[in-house]
Structures are given as C-alpha cells and as structure tokens.
Structure 1
Amino acid sequence: MFSDSYWEADHLMSYDVAVIGGGIIGMSTALSLVEQNPSFRIAVLERGLIPTGASTRNAGFACFGSLSELWHDITAMGGKDNAIDVVRKRIDGLTALRRRCTDEALGYEQHGGHELFMSDDESLHRIDELNALLEPLLHGPAFVRRDDLIARYGFDGVRALVAIPHEGTLHSGRMAATLGRLAREHGIHVATGALVSSLDGESEPASIRLTIETAYGPRSIAAGNVVVATNACIGDLCPGIGLDIVPARGQVLVTSPVPGLPFRGSFHFDAGFYYFRSVGERVLFGGGRNLDIDGERTRVMDVTPVVQEQLERLLDRTILPGRDYVIERRWAGTMGFSADKRPHVEHVHPRIVVAFGCNGMGVALGSTVGEEAARLVTAAG
C-alpha cells in the first residue's frame, strides 16, 4: 500500500491554509494571506498543468464595465448603489493587480476601451447620468461619445461609438506567470496536477482533510483553513451552499497580423456578448454565447461551428471589412456566473471559505476577492 514517507508527513502534507484553484483569485488569495500572515504555511492546489479555466483563456481585458453593461447592471443588481459598489471593487482590483505585478510584467497597455452600437440604445442617453455616478471613482468621465472614430477605425454598420478612456488590456499568460513567480518568491507551495476531489471537515476538529487525485492514487493533506477558488467548479466541492453559480463557455479566435490595423485598445458590443482587442497587429475576438445560451452553459472547452462562424462573419463585415487576414488560433475557456452578477466571498464551514467573483470580470475582481477571502481566513484564526 502506498503511504507517506516520514519526510512528507513531517513537512509536506499539512498547511495552515490550502487554496484550491491556481487562477487569479486563488493566487491573489494566497499572496494576500502571506502578506497578512508571514508565518503561515500556504499551499495552492491547481488541477491543471497551468490554470486552465478562465485566467489564461480569457481576452485579457482590464475593464470595469461598458456603458450598456453598467446600465443593465443597475437593474440586474437591484439598484445604483449595488452596481456602483461592484464597479468600485473592479477598479480597486485592477489597481491592486497592477501594483502587485507591475504593468511591465503584466504586458499592460492603456489604449482605452470602446463600445460599439449597431442601433439606438437606452444607455446612450444615460452617459451623463452614469458619468456622474462614476466621477468619485474615476475623477474624470468614464464614457465619452466618439462617433468620429467609426470611420477612422474602418468599422461598418456601426451607428454609435462610446470611448472608455480608463480601460486597458494585458497579457493573460504573463499575468498568470507573474502571480506564480510571486507566490514562489513568498514561499507559497504551488502544486499543479493536483485535483482536489473532496473536503472532510468533520473527521478532525482543528483542520480540513483534502483528498487529492494523483498519479499514485488518492492522497490527502490537512489544512487549518481552506479557500475554494475554483470559479464555475465551486459547487463540485461545496454542494448545497446556496450559490447559484453556472458555467459559461467563452469562445475566442485570433487573427494573423493585419497590415495597417487602424485601431488599438479594447472593444465591446451587443451588451458585452461580443468583445475584441488589438494584440500587436493581430485582432483577438471572442463572445457569441448568446447564440446558444443553454448550449454554452458548459465546462467543455471546445469551440463550436455556430459561434465561430458568427465571429468570422462579424470580423469580415463589421470589424475588418476589406482587409486581408487568416484565423491563426481558436480556443475556449470556462467562466462562472452568479445569478445576481455579484462577487461572493463567505464561509460555508467554520474552516472553509468560498471565493467567487468572476461573472466575466475575473481580471478586474480577482485581487479584490482574494483580499476579502484572506481577511476572512485571518479573522477566523
């Protein structure tokens, strides 16, 4: 029978805190924990070779929400105060991420964001109102009507364009690598290929027993506290917790370099269901899950013809009409969405905290959610 060695049992199989999930929320939680508690022994357990849910498979938007999204969120989140509170957390999270990692390490660029409108929309008539609400957070206009950019950028079929000057982009791979490097520099044990299959909070009074599937069969470690930061998969380890978190597949493609690409920055349209950005001279384009909402509620990270063909049509007709390019790569990632679109950080057991905050905004919310989760663990002792 396979058993732990003396050395493993003495030093490698127990921790003060185990963080499940090595994406932006998990790594941010671990780093905040070690900043608050330098003596803690912390492990991050990532099931993949690299974080492979959303953190390294997104579009790399450093954004707080487009005009139409924020106008919709006021209703979806139960009022202006709730919506603005989430925007504040997104802005604070981006600030914390940039401070922790540095813009250079993140590949961060602030060319500004934009929202395209193919027809009239109620939010276009609410720009002044939303700017007034966001002024205390941004100290300047969040949204500026810039229809003059439509022709300059070469778009077709676009009726209105709103610039979002405070929005930026980053390199998601560099972000993940930098967070991993910082974790190791702080003495955090990062284990990849570590699929946690169960949590036992009843057998031992002072710790949680985690079962991990490995190449040598199931193994277990003990942790004084556990943070579950697995995005759309939180329900696998914490069933019946009352959080209605559903998966949502995000499909993406990227073009070859486009000679003379006339725009830089990030772009949204159709209430955020479509999004694209410049990556050097390339265009990264994603979205389209509204074409099949039920079918895209999946963790299967395959691309589908119905979505990819629509992305190609929009590229040809709206974004890059008349330009030469080929599609170089296609992929999909898995996001998690809560019914109220708000982040959730809470105890589900005296020694287990769930940390969820994505709703398509993991880059922005990851650091804030990680900080909140770390504070809960620290307060629990």
Structure 2
Amino acid sequence: MRSRSVRPSAVPTKTDRPVETAPTYWLRGTGDGDGQPPTALPGRVGVLVVGGGLMGVASAYWLARRGLDVLVCEARRLGYGASGRNIGVVLPAPRPTEDCALLDEVLHEERVDAGYQEAGHLTLASSAQVWDRVRAEVARRPAGAAPLHALTRPECEDLLGMRINRRFAGGRWATDGRGVDPVRLVDGLGRAAREHGAAVATGTRVRTVAPVRGGGRLAADTSRGRVIADAVVLACHLDIGRFVPSLAGALTPARGQVLATAPTRPMFRFGMAVDWGSVYWRQAADGTILLGGGRQVDPDREQSPRALVNPRIQRHLDGFLPDAFPDLPPLRTSQRWAGVMDCTPDGRPVVGRVTGQADRWVIGGFGGHGIPPALATARALAEAVATGTDPELLAPFAPDRFHPSDQP
C-alpha cells in the first residue's frame, strides 16, 4: 500500500489518523550521510555491529580504538532512526555513565563539529506540586555535582527575558545543560570510528544472525551478502528483540512527536522543558525552534513502533508556545516528524552479554535519554567484548535481569 504524505507545514484537520512525513530537520538535505560510500562487505570480521545509530556507532568507535576488526551494518544512513529524530537536548546527570566530560573529550580529540552548545537548561514547573519536587531535588543535590537552582517564575522570566504564563510556578535551572546536532554527532563519531580502522556499511540490512555449524563463529545474512563474525553487537533499537526473542517483551516502543518552526529571531538561548519532559524545546543556531513531546494528549496511540505524525498531538504542540509565552511573535511550523524510542519496564537500558551466549552483546533501551550515557556505556561494552569480562559499570543494565536464561 502506498503511504500517505502531508506537506511538512500542514497538520491534518479532517482526521486524527497518524501520517508519514518528510525527513527530520537534522536529516533534510543530508542524503546518504557524510559523503562516504557504503564500504565493500568483508567476508570475515572480528566484531559485527548491527545498527548505525548513536549506540552502534559509539560502540564501533571504542572497539576500533581497542584495535578490533569492526564492521557496522546500517539499513539506512547513519542516525536515520531515533538518533536523528530528537531535538538534540543533552541533560547530564550525577551518575557514572552520564557525566558529559567524556563526550566533551571525544568531540575535542576527534575534531567532531556537532553544533555543540553549552548554555544550560530550564525546566518550568506546571504546578505547585512539581515546584515542591524541584526544590526538594535542588536541596539534595550531591556535593560536587553541577549547580542546580530552583527559580521562581519572576526569576525564570528574568533569565529568559520574556513573560511566562502565570500557570507556571517556577523553574529548575541546570547550568550544565547542552545542545547538539544529533546527526552531525553520529556522523562525526562514524568518521572517527573509520579513522581508527572500523568499516561502515550503510544501506545494508542484517536479516539474520546464526551460529556457523562447528565453527564457533556467527554468520550474518545481509541485504548485500554474507559476513562471518567472531562476535556481534546488537545496537538495533527494537529490532534487538528480533535477534534475541526473549528480550522482545522487555523493549517496548514509545513514539515521540516533534515539530520545527521556520527560523525566527533568537528567543531561547538554552534548552527548555515542562515538568519532567511533557513538552521540551530548544532553538537551533539558525533560529529554528524545535519542539517535542505531548504524548500525554494521546498516550495509547503513541505506543507504536511506526514513526508516524499524530495530528492530535501536533495540534497540541502548535498551541503550546503561544500559550506559555504571551509575548512571542507569530511562529510558522515548517516541518513535522516522529521518532520511536525503545523503553524497558524499569527505565534502565539493556547493555551487556546475551545470557548464555558468549559471542552476542546488546546495547539499547535508553528510552529517549541516550546522548549523555552513550559514550561511557559504549566504552564499557567495548571493554566487555574485547576482554570477555563484565565491567561493574554495566551491572545495572544486564540483560538477564529480565530473563535468567536465553538459549540460542
């Protein structure tokens, strides 16, 4: 069946049926990626990484830095899936995997121009109850963590330089919030991985992975030929469940809606959100405002693995900024899209060795919060693959917490 499409600026009003749209703000005009042609498939590799999103490319980068023979296979272009469909907000946390120092270090060392901005992040509290939670969080902030401040609504207005709807009680100001172009980040890490010896094959879908009879290796059947690997890292989002059936129920989809406005004058110098991310937005360097969220408007329909635009939620997003900021000039939506996040029941990712299979590893389930922990988590996974050990950092993310055994 031929898919329907809509003009990027239009919101269907005759029906609330989800529809397909053009590529995202980050992906438009990028073609097949960073200009590198798909690599010729080798017949044999040390480690095959399935999936060319942020997690797959970051894993390949660290594996290549360890000197392993690595091949990344991606069905589309790098960053085409969830990695290229967010708004590029980076929110560090006082946890070992979510300190952005490693991200800063790698971007500098590898000369990755990812449109990185270190400007802070402001979250508005939509009720007195949320405002109380913000103040409690600030009060218990660990010593040595990046500064976090509870601001009254007038203080938020002073920081932002514009009036805010009086329904907001205050705000949470995090000085370490960042912004990034997620596609340039993935492309840059892909280039760095190649420079360290990895091969990257875009336009190459991995169909199956199966043991080689009597060989102690794995055979991957791809859309461009067969590859034999000593080990496989599955970094393929919800498709992990296709390769590891016992994890299929542990990885569930959550669709997110996003829109982009036509470029306008600078108004938001830093990333912003409401409460714990019910709505979130930032303004890119060219003046485009990227706004996402609103899943609470139609939650049942958003439990979908298809990246379709939900008109009902998009209408909600259209009305959010004018309501929240009464002095905003008129804004025109130029583009709409959706992305699908892979989530787990306990909110923690799934990273580590597949139970009972020494040559298969997984990394996924980050639930829309993948940029801060990507490099640290992928580095620990690369250590595990290279040494056969189980780093302590990965213990909370072990796949066997969902299924004690997972036979081939």
Bucket of the pairwise TM-score, normalised by the shorter protein: 0.7 to 0.9
Looking at structure 2, the residues matched to 375 and 125 of structure 1 have their Cα atoms a distance apart, in angstroms, of 38
1:22 to 11, 34, 52: 52
Looking at structure 1, the residues matched to 308 and 85 of structure 2 have their Cα atoms a distance apart, in angstroms, of 12
Query: Shift in Å at residue 303 of structure 1?
Result: 0.9
Rate the CA distance shift 1:11–1:125 in 2: closer, same or farther, 3 A. closer
Match of 2:157 in 1: 150
More helix by share: 1
2:195 to 185, 188, 201: 185
Looking at structure 2, the residues matched to 129 and 317 of structure 1 have their Cα atoms a distance apart, in angstroms, of 27
Which 5+ residue runs of structure 2 have no aligned equivalent?
A: 1-39, 390-408
Match of 1:276 in 2: 281
Rate the CA distance shift 1:322–1:263 in 2: closer, same or farther, 3 A. closer
Looking at structure 1, the residues matched to 64 and 172 of structure 2 have their Cα atoms a distance apart, in angstroms, of 41
Q: Tell whether 2:198 aligns with 1:201.
A: no
Match of 2:75 in 1: 47
Aligned pairs for 1:104-123 within 5 A: 105-122=113-130
2:86 to 28, 35, 58: 58
Q: Deviations over 1:177-214 (max 9, x none)?
A: 21111122112110011111111036243211111124
Match of 2:401 in 1: none
Match of 2:369 in 1: 361
Looking at structure 2, the residues matched to 59 and 320 of structure 1 have their Cα atoms a distance apart, in angstroms, of 23
Query: Shift in Å at residue 90 of structure 1?
Result: 1.5
Query: Shift in Å at residue 230 of structure 1?
Result: 1.3
Query: Shift in Å at residue 255 of structure 1?
Result: 1.0
Q: Is contact 2:343-2:349 (8 Å) kept?
A: no
Which residue type is aligned with residue 25 of structure 1?
M
Q: Is contact 1:135-1:142 (8 Å) kept?
A: no
- With normalisation by structure 2, the TM-score equals 0.78
Give the secondary-structure state (helix, strand or coil) at the position aligned to 1:143: strand
Give the secondary-structure state (helix, strand or coil) at the position aligned to 2:117: coil
1:231 to 212, 233, 237: 237
Q: Tell whether 2:322 aligns with 1:313.
A: no
Aligned pairs for 1:1-381 within 5 A: 12-36=42-66, 38=67, 40-64=68-92, 87-91=95-99, 94-102=100-108, 105-122=113-130, 124-125=132-133, 127=135, 129-136=137-144, 138=145, 140-147=146-153, 148-150=155-157, 152-156=161-165, 157-201=167-211, 203-214=213-224, 219-241=225-247, 244-259=250-265, 261-280=266-285, 281-319=287-325, 321-348=327-354, 349-380=357-388
Looking at structure 2, the residues matched to 359 and 296 of structure 1 have their Cα atoms a distance apart, in angstroms, of 13
Give the secondary-structure state (helix, strand or coil) at the position aligned to 2:60: helix
Which residue type is aligned with residue 178 of structure 1?
G
Rate the CA distance shift 1:253–1:62 in 2: closer, same or farther, 3 A. same
Q: Deviations over 1:88-117 (max 9, x none)?
A: 3112xx322221123861211111001111
Match of 1:70 in 2: none
Looking at structure 2, the residues matched to 328 and 161 of structure 1 have their Cα atoms a distance apart, in angstroms, of 29
Looking at structure 1, the residues matched to 139 and 97 of structure 2 have their Cα atoms a distance apart, in angstroms, of 17
Query: Shift in Å at residue 380 of structure 1?
Result: 2.3
Looking at structure 2, the residues matched to 297 and 264 of structure 1 have their Cα atoms a distance apart, in angstroms, of 32
